[in-house]
Structure 1
């Protein structure tokens, strides 16, 4: 099983906000990675993949070559809080 969270589960267990038995079942291997907001230089590397994935759900309508870059920039800015 793979799971992810942005919360400090150890602290939550100590506070009684997360079940201890469940925490130890999930614990296994912990791999900590910094949030994308802390790795802004990686956005340019990941953006093409995000755009392909997003276009599968909501196709981008690119009518003119010069119009697509600002649109992508706006889409990335609008979704920056989610990354």
Structure 2
């Protein structure tokens, strides 16, 4: 006897497929955008791969969104 539910054998949840597709797209994006860009902010000038700059900007945006959302809930 197994603990598997009948009819659920070998199925993959749609959220898993979406996650895999996004991971593949992220890998393709990184591989295609390895060129260096120069960012200047106030007095600082930094050179980094474009994918890294976009990742940092995404994380900053996510953090700002989380902070604003948290503040609204209180």
What TM-score comes out, normalization by structure 1 length?
0.23
Identify the structure with the greater strand proportion: 2
The answer to which structure, 1 or 2, has the higher relative contact order (CA under 8 A, 6+ apart) is 1
- TM-score w.r.t. length of structure 2: 0.25
